[in-house]
Amino acid sequence: MEKIKRKRGTEGATMEDIAAATGLSKMTISRVFSGTGSVRKETRERVIEEADRLGYVYNALAGNFSRGKTQLIGFGVRFDGLLGSEYFAGIYRGAQNRLAKEDLRLIPLDTSSREYQNGENLMSLVAQRRVDGVMILAPLEQDELIVNQTFEEAPMVVVGAQPSHSSISWADMDNVHAIECLVDHMVSLGHQKIAYIAGPEQVSDAVTRGRAFIDAIKKHGLELPPEYIANGGFHYSIGRLAAKQILSLDDRPTALIAANDLSALGAMDMIKELGLVPGKDISVAGVDGSYMAGEVTPALTSVVQPLEQLGARAAELLIEQMQGDTSVVGTQLVRGELKAKESSGNVS
Amino acid sequence: MEKIKRKRGTEGATMEDIAAATGLSKMTISRVFSGTGSVRKETRERVIEEADRLGYVYNALAGNFSRGKTQLIGFGVRFDGLLGSEYFAGIYRGAQNRLAKEDLRLIPLDTSSREYQNGENLMSLVAQRRVDGVMILAPLEQDELIVNQTFEEAPMVVVGAQPSHSSISWADMDNVHAIECLVDHMVSLGHQKIAYIAGPEQVSDAVTRGRAFIDAIKKHGLELPPEYIANGGFHYSIGRLAAKQILSLDDRPTALIAANDLSALGAMDMIKELGLVPGKDISVAGVDGSYMAGEVTPALTSVVQPLEQLGARAAELLIEQMQGDTSVVGTQLVRGELKAKESSGNVS
DNA sequence: TTGTAAGCGTTATCAT
DNA sequence: ATGATAACGCTTACAA
């Protein structure tokens, strides 16, 4: 590897150096390394050989500037609350894997920060050309305005929620289907009295699940006393409390469905604490297919969210938008899969 | 906001347009927006006013190219296993917040991917000028080679582990102190028979904690039968099994310390399942200060990891390296804090 | 398939 | 405090 001298503190060979060394033009070198356009096989090999000899490395910074793209996609996520979750991780992985095929990379942006709430962050990041597009994870209702604004500025997709603005692309789990699966499952085990632990009201998926539960119960012609619906807020400790409350009812249900695994796990803990056996004395199920659902004893019946798939679909919707000239709007509803475990069993 | 026409598909005003409109030079405009150099107050105001009028937005892509920096820091983390953890989230947040002050942003890179294992990913990202520096989260022993190689290429810091290569900067929790806190705590409650649930051998922090436990027990002159040390592997279900094993011993310990919260929680679950009361019949404690530690009943005694602080310190070490001409090596050992809860109590 | 020319929008450097 | 000028290393657009 020879050393090359250059002005302004730069080191390393450039395409121009290779051009000079091979007698070709800069453009041919560019074609070789960017994979664009066609280059004769011999030529390509000669270029690559010379590049190796000179220790050339492609300068993405220059390429991106010239192209006017950063190859970066902002991934909006609430650092406070969502960043360390399996939910985030699964979707992020799925999206990143899909985007990698287009040489795109995700960069997490904090939607719980003040700057985001002002709309400063996301919008200016787009405007300043720091990201080419934006993917937003499970925005809350209160984020609606910012989502809509960002959408005006750049290619955007929402994942894990369904935005009210009808021309925004989104990918989400089929929450109705998930809840139907669980209710059907419980009913097929003979359960008639099924209680529900709801999720937080600001989370649209949770609201959807709550409505779906009521509908599913009605569909089966079952009764649903108001006391059978408790608030769990997606938390373990609240799931515990909700279970305690429900178990103390005179007309105790035989099955318990929670809006997510965490509250289901809390409920199960309380059930055990009260000397009852989950899956025997009372059946329990949740939504998520979380790590803990498989770790506890008895294992928790749950509808597994297809997180990676969800992320990948969202990525595809975004890519469509970035490639198509017209702003294509796409939506994806992905179905989860029921994994029945020991926490749910025949009615006793 | 006027519209400005430009060649090659570009839109929006540039510094040159503002220069023309104000009669100043491009450089003065640049000084205003980059915050570098000095500009008279009046001049600055005039520039900003005109910029607003023209709808000018700073083009970071161009600025970064000109400066030769991406303002991006690669954050190496195992997507498989660590990405969805509180541990990752806390450190990431702390680091990102600190780096934001220098206009630096983190971008997660998957160290569990094949490309990383080949050394392709990290190294080429640095070489191709896609990132200015690298922070690596809790690399495993097997990652040593890649860590060392990356270190040759760019400013780098390791967080959540102590690299063997002595000229690499790192920030880590004081694991020895954490374990000492827990042992001291148990001893102060009157416990003489203390068992330990270890972590995985590939995780250097876990190994350090294991050694620290043995040392701390010795320091107090207590006995430590080999059966008092079980493997928990940082998992809930294994923590359960470990507890079962330990509780079946003829000479049953009165206290149980786990290498992390997850296995401690599993142990506590098993204790409850066997009809014993944690904090009364047997005391339990972990390390992490995790969300779940505060959610379960009884709440779990734990040493809270100062994750955000850890991330911030690591960020500072990296910033030092990026600014200083010489490669400064710094190390930071951050102490956690014991939070005693109901899971640990006086020996009965 | 390969080449020529003209940027892309900012910052470094040196001068005034 | 401000200006003139030359990069920075690549890609687009068009020509051969």
Please state the rounded mean pLDDT for residues B274-281: 96
Please state the rounded mean pLDDT for residues A274-293: 97
Q: Which residue is nearest to the C1' sugar atom of C3, using CA?
A: A25
| Rounded CA–C1' distance between A61 and D8, in angstroms | 10
CA atoms within 13 A on the CB side of A23: 2
User: Tell me, what's the pLDDT at A325?
Assistant: 56
**Residues in a beta bridge with A216:** none
Domain edges within chain B? 15-58, 72-172+307-334, 175-305
Which of B101, B129, B269 is most worth mutating to test chain A (most A CB atoms within 10 A of its CB)? B129
Residue B152 predicted with pLDDT over 80? yes
Give the minimum alpha-carbon distance from B216 to chain A in angstroms, rounded to a whole number. 31
pLDDT band at B6 (very low <50, low <70, confident <90, very high): very low
Residue A7 predicted with pLDDT over 50? no
CB pairs under 8 A between A and B: 116
Contact B106 A105 (CB under 8 A): no
User: Tell me, what's the pLDDT at B80?
Assistant: 93
Residue A107 predicted with pLDDT over 80? yes
Q: State whether the beta carbon of B96 lies below 7 angstroms from any atom of strand C.
A: no
pLDDT band at B8 (very low <50, low <70, confident <90, very high): very low
Among B180, B298, B191, B200, smallest CA distance to B242 is for B200
- Higher per-residue pLDDT: A326 or B267: B267
Q: What percent of chain A has pLDDT over 90?
A: 81
User: Both tokens of residue A219?
Assistant: 């569909």
Phi–psi pair at A113, nearest 5 degrees: -80, 160
Nucleotides of D under 7 A from a protein CB: 1-13
Tell me the angle at which helices A204-219 and A175-188 cross, rounded to the nearest 10 degrees: 40
Residue B139 predicted with pLDDT over 70? yes
Contact A240 B297 (CB under 8 A): yes
Q: What angle do CA A22, A26, A30 make, to 5 degrees?
A: 105
Phi–psi pair at A107, nearest 5 degrees: -135, 115
Q: Highest mean pLDDT range out of A36-50, B1-15, B153-167, B211-225?
A: B211-225
For A28-86, what is each residue's pLDDT tens digit? 999 999 888 889 999 999 999 999 999 999 999 999 999 999 999 999 999 999 999 99
Among B175, B98, B91, smallest CA distance to B136 is for B91
Q: Which residues contact B311 (CB under 8 A, 6 or more apart)?
A: B90, B91, B92, B93, B94, B95, B96, B97, B98, B159
Residue B7 predicted with pLDDT over 70? no
Q: Which residues contact B29 (CB under 8 A, 6 or more apart)?
A: B15, B18, B19, B22, B47, B51
Q: State whether the beta carbon of B10 lies below 7 angstroms from any atom of strand C.
A: yes
Whether B50 contacts B22, CB under 8 Å: yes
Give the minimum alpha-carbon distance from A216 to chain B in angstroms, rounded to a whole number. 31
Contact A295 B89 (CB under 8 A): no
User: Tell me, what's the pLDDT at B37?
Assistant: 81
B342 touches chain A (CB under 8 A): no
> Which residues from B are below 8 Å from A68, CB to CB?
9-10, 61
Q: Which nucleotide is nearest to B33 (CA to C1')?
A: C10
User: Tell me, what's the pLDDT at A343?
Assistant: 98
Nucleotides of C under 7 A from a protein CB: 1-13
User: Tell me, what's the pLDDT at B4?
Assistant: 37
For A149-196, what is each residue's pLDDT tens digit? 888 888 999 999 999 888 899 999 999 999 999 999 999 999 999 999
What residue in B sits closest to A125 (Cα-Cα)? Answer: B60
User: Tell me, what's the pLDDT at B329?
Assistant: 87
User: Tell me, what's the pLDDT at B133?
Assistant: 95
A57 touches chain B (CB under 8 A): yes
Phi–psi pair at B250, nearest 5 degrees: -65, -45
Alpha-carbon distances, residue A10 vs A64, B66, B68, B122, B243 (angstroms)? 18, 11, 9, 21, 60
For B316-332, what is each residue's pLDDT tens digit? 999 999 987 556 789 99
Greatest Cα pair distance, chain A, in angstroms, is 90
Question: Among partner residues B60, B79, B93, which is closest to A129 by beta-carbon distance?
Answer: B60
So what's the architecture of B72-172+307-334 in CATH?
3-Layer(aba) Sandwich (3.40)
Residue B5 predicted with pLDDT over 60? no
Q: Which nucleotide is nearest to B14 (CA to C1')?
A: C9
Q: Which residues contact B27 (CB under 8 A, 6 or more apart)?
A: none
Residue in the structure block whose two tokens are 């959610």? B295
User: Tell me, what's the pLDDT at A327?
Assistant: 67
- For chain B, the residue count is 348
For B11-48, what is each residue's pLDDT tens digit? 689 999 999 999 999 999 999 998 888 899 999 999 99
A342 touches chain B (CB under 8 A): no
Distance CA A304, CA A149 (A): 33
Whether B211 contacts B204, CB under 8 Å: no
Residue B308 predicted with pLDDT over 60? yes
For A298-317, what is each residue's pLDDT tens digit? 999 999 999 999 999 999 99
Distance CA B248, CA B186 (A): 21
Whether B79 contacts B112, CB under 8 Å: yes
Beta-strand ranges (E) seen in A22-145 are 72-77, 105-110, 133-137
For A206-258, what is each residue's pLDDT tens digit? 999 999 999 999 999 999 999 999 987 999 999 999 999 999 999 999 999 99
Query: CATH homologous superfamily for B175-305?
Result: Response regulator (3.40.50.2300)
Contact A128 B59 (CB under 8 A): yes
Q: Is residue B289 left, alpha or beta, with left meaning phi > 0 and alpha meaning psi from -120 to 50?
A: left
Amino acid at B200: P
Distance CA B210, CA B197 (A): 9
Question: Among partner residues A106, A110, A128, which is closest to B60 by beta-carbon distance?
Answer: A128
Contact B128 A58 (CB under 8 A): yes
B86 touches chain A (CB under 8 A): yes
A-contacting residues of B 224-253, CB under 8 Å?
235-237, 240
Q: What angle do CA A170, A172, A178 make, to 5 degrees?
A: 160
Among B142, B241, B107, smallest CA distance to A104 is for B107
